[in-house]
Homo-oligomer: A and B are copies of this chain.
Amino acid sequence: MARNKAFEPEEKLKKAKDLFWQKGYSGTTMQDLVDTMGLNRGSIYDTYGDKHSLFLMCLTSYADSTLADFQQAVTETKSPLKAIEKIIKRAVVRTVAEGKTCMGVKSTFELASVDAEVHTILKDNTNGMVAVLKELVKKAQKAGEISAKRDPGVVAAFIVANFTGFWQFYLVYQDAALIQQQADFLIRSIKK
């Protein structure tokens, strides 16, 4: 009947995601997307809708992959405390290795208070990360690896909140060693 799509929508979406990730939502123009995705204007609108819905797709994709990363750390590691430490370690690596600041955090500060759809995606994502860590904390407490005096939910939220601090400080100081010190301090804090 008709010609097939000549491009991989998911592959192009990844390029769009990287661009939004780097430049933010309002910092990214439609022309940037046309250039970076290597796609025609019309093809973008036909395939993904307008700029805003394209961004939502990118943010959702990002959120899903980071959450999957969390969950993978759980299945990879037997000791719940080690799994927590692995998640923290990965946050450090992501902070200092990738040149870009966590897209979720950036989007939170740029859009969460003015864009309801973005807010929902970010809230769900944060819920997911906290839930994974909460389960790990509970298990670590049962295993005697973490003091049972702490509320698992508070500990979990505390860890996730600290990642945001990592990114802010790395943006300001660009000092990998500093982030590592913060992470060490964080791990020490949750054990007691």
Mark A residues whose CB is within 8 Å of B. Answer: 24, 26-27, 101, 105-106, 108-110, 112-114, 119, 122-123, 126, 150-151, 154-155, 157-158, 160-169, 171-173, 178, 181-182, 185-186, 189, 192
Contact = CB atoms under 8 A, between A and B. Distances in A.
A192 B165 CA distance: 21
Q: How many copies does the complex hold?
A: 2
Main secondary structure on chain A at its contact with chain B?
A: helix
A161 B165 contact: yes
A97 to B, nearest CB: 15
A99 to B, nearest CB: 9
B108 A172 contact: yes
17 contacts: A26-B26, A101-B109, A106-B109, A109-B168, A109-B171, A123-B173, A126-B169, A126-B173, A150-B185, A154-B181, A154-B182, A157-B182, A161-B162, A161-B166, A163-B165, A164-B168, A185-B189
